[in-house]
Chains A and B, each alone.
Chain A
Amino acid sequence: MVEHRLEDWLEEGYAGSFRTACLILGNRADAEEAVQDAFLRAWRFRDALTSVPSVKPWLYRVVVNSCYSKLRQEIPHRDHRAEDAELAERMASASASDPASSAERSEVAGVVLAALQRLPVSLRVPVVLRYYADLSERDIALAIGRRPGTVKSRLHEARRRLADDPDILLLGANGALDDPVEA
């Protein structure tokens, strides 16, 4: 039996899990709590790892579930203005740390993050897992408990919605995007 070490898990997966949760939840504090819950839960059920093919999708599945729980419990009661303020502050700090090169990038990132948050959770999660966590469609299907075909169609729908997003279109019109839209 493989001996698991929590320290190894954290070293390998904490950063990715945290940022994934940030992209899903759009909130740093919630993401930190969700990732803590996820690692605690994953550690409790580490025996189940013997029956799964690989650790990464399993861990992401736990993280995604934790994010779902967080969304169900916290988001309806949260003041969204606080999120916007946090996002603006984060962007400002990013610009301040590297003002010359990252100002435009931060603006794009802020707009994209906001557009991401406007997607429904069912579309947002596959997008984040696919394009940030680099999970395959099959692993995403495992992680969210859906069929690969469903994942594919959701990814397509998410890309379409993002391409239709007025802020993304505006970025494209301003030249921030280098012809990102494909027919």
Chain B
Amino acid sequence: MPTLDDEFLVTLLHDVGESFTIPPSGPSAVLRRVHRDDDESAGRRRGAGGAGHVGEGVEGADSGEPAPPSARTARRTVRSTVRSHRILTAAAVVLVLLVAAGSAAVLGSGAPTANRFGHSAGPATATPRSGFGVAHTPATTKVAGSGSTGSAAAVPAPATSAAPSISSAGTASKGATTENSPQLGADAVGQPARIEQTGSLDLSVARGAVSATVGKLDALAGDNNGFVATSQTHSGASGGAPSGTVTLEVPVASFSAALGEAESLGKVSQLTTNATDVTAQYVDLQSQITALEASRQQYLTIMTKASSIGDVLAVQAQLDSLQSQIQQLQGQLAVLGSETDYSKLAIGVSETAAPPHHRAAAAAPSGLAKAWHDSVHGFVAGTEGLIRIAGPALFALLCLGAALLGGQLFWRRLQRRNL
């Protein structure tokens, strides 16, 4: 591979270099600048030692111009740094954005995570942290437990304190007469919390025990001062497995107890509880009714003073309209009150048996099919795992790259500054 001769290059570059004439004022300009810089530094030192004028700038001895204020100097320094380290700045911005996005994602997913009753989480972790909001605050708790142990953790803890929590709301009963009914804070609406609580439970029982279990559930409703809203039982005569569905409505205060008793009747395959704070809605309805009744009272007063038939009819029309609105709102209030007085618990009962697709798989005689099924399942699981870790891995790689880039630039800068 041909390259240029060293001596030739030396001669050539010296020729080229020598062709640049030295500016006669060059060294003197450097001297002037260095002396001015020295004077400014000395002035700054004097200013810093003065009576509290640090960073305010002092006058240069030669130029007579005031030194730039510290804020301007800092801005200039930052601007210069950003300009001379564009890549580093861009990396820092990307990093900050990523961290902010990650934090937002974590914070965004934090609330439902805190409200979720985990499979293996103890009662302490199962207690949601969300407080009662004046507005609708969905406080949903979900459990897809496969065993009774997991589902036990899903039972809201009994309310033993006045601390506002959804778990205590779960056992709240109507009105302020119940001792363990959670009270809102002094700055709240002054109403006991209105919590609408529902639950769904799937039970697996022994063969032939479906009917007996449904009967026990009926009795359970009575024991907890509730009632059976719906009840369905399939005997399995048509070919399917025997099963039953019972919907219980029990007082809110008895919800936890009823849930616990129902769980003890079989093996829990799924449990879902849902608590929604409807206090704000309830108070809003009450306020509207109060306002409408006040208006109605005023119209009644006007009615007594009406002298002509036209006036009477006009006032009567208004009164009719108000009465209609009041009754409509009272109906809504009653429904809401009923929903918060009684918790609905839907319980599905089925016999313990392998699910149909499991039975089909078990019935498959070929080991090859099972191997194929396992293989596909493993492939899908592996792909899912890869996709799941791709996000964090990408984030980590970006962070690492930004850190390496920053470190490299910093190291180079440090080396240049040291020499």
For A36, give its contact among B6, B18, B33, B418 (CB under 8 Å).
B33
A52: B residues at CB distance < 8 A: 419
Any chain A CB within 8 A of the CB of B207?
no
Q: How far is the CA of A73 from the CA of B82 in the complex (A)?
A: 11
Any chain B CB within 8 A of the CB of A23?
yes
A contact residues, range = 35 or more
Q: How far is the CA of A48 from the CA of B84 in the complex (A)?
A: 23
Q: How far is the CA of A11 from the CA of B37 in the complex (A)?
A: 20
Any chain A CB within 8 A of the CB of B372?
no
Given A18-B22, A40-B34, A73-B83, A127 and B2 contact (CB-CB distance below 8 Å): no
Q: List residues of A (128-183) whose CB comes within 8 Å of B's CBs.
A: 128, 131-132, 134, 142-143, 145, 156, 159-160, 162-164, 168, 177-183
For A15, give its contact among B16, B19, B22, B416 (CB under 8 Å).
B22
**Chain B interface (Cβ within 8 Å of chain A)?**
1-6, 8-10, 12-20, 22-23, 26-27, 29-31, 33-34, 37, 83-84, 412, 415-419
Given A36-B29, A58-B419, A182-B5, A109 and B34 contact (CB-CB distance below 8 Å): no
- The reply to whether B20 and A18 form a contact with Cβ atoms under 8 Å apart is yes
- The reply to whether A109 and B12 form a contact with Cβ atoms under 8 Å apart is yes
- The reply to whether B13 and A132 form a contact with Cβ atoms under 8 Å apart is yes
Beyond A22-B17, A109-B12, A145-B416, list 6 extra A-B contacts (CB 8 Å). A15-B22, A57-B419, A116-B13, A132-B14, A178-B8, A181-B5
- The reply to whether B27 and A19 form a contact with Cβ atoms under 8 Å apart is no
Any chain B CB within 8 A of the CB of A81?
no
- The reply to whether B16 and A109 form a contact with Cβ atoms under 8 Å apart is yes
- The reply to whether A6 and B31 form a contact with Cβ atoms under 8 Å apart is yes
A93: nearest chain-B partner, CB-CB? B21
**Chain A interface (Cβ within 8 Å of chain B)?**
6-7, 10-11, 14-15, 18-20, 22-23, 28, 31-32, 35-36, 39-40, 43-45, 48, 51-52, 57-58, 61-62, 65, 69, 72-73, 90-91, 94, 105-106, 108-109, 112-113, 116, 127-128, 131-132, 134, 142-143, 145, 156, 159-160, 162-164, 168, 177-183
B23: nearest chain-A partner, CB-CB? A32
**What is the number of contacts between chain A and chain B, taking CB atoms within 8 Å?**
139
B13: A residues at CB distance < 8 A: 23, 112, 116, 127-128, 131-132
Q: How far is the CA of A158 from the CA of B400 in the complex (A)?
A: 33
- The reply to whether A32 and B9 form a contact with Cβ atoms under 8 Å apart is no
- The reply to whether B412 and A32 form a contact with Cβ atoms under 8 Å apart is no
Q: How far is the CA of A179 from the CA of B1 in the complex (A)?
A: 15
- The reply to whether B416 and A6 form a contact with Cβ atoms under 8 Å apart is no
The smallest beta-carbon distance between A5 and chain B, in angstroms, is 11
19 inter-chain pairs at a CB distance below 8 angstroms, sorted by A residue, are: A7-B31, A14-B26, A18-B22, A23-B17, A35-B26, A43-B34, A44-B37, A58-B419, A73-B84, A106-B19, A108-B15, A109-B12, A116-B16, A127-B9, A128-B13, A131-B12, A132-B13, A159-B4, A181-B4
- The reply to whether B2 and A181 form a contact with Cβ atoms under 8 Å apart is yes
A112: B residues at CB distance < 8 A: 12-13, 15-16
- The reply to whether B5 and A22 form a contact with Cβ atoms under 8 Å apart is no
The smallest beta-carbon distance between B10 and chain A, in angstroms, is 5
For A10, give its contact among B2, B3, B31, B415 (CB under 8 Å).
B31
The smallest beta-carbon distance between B19 and chain A, in angstroms, is 5
Q: How far is the CA of A51 from the CA of B17 in the complex (A)?
A: 31
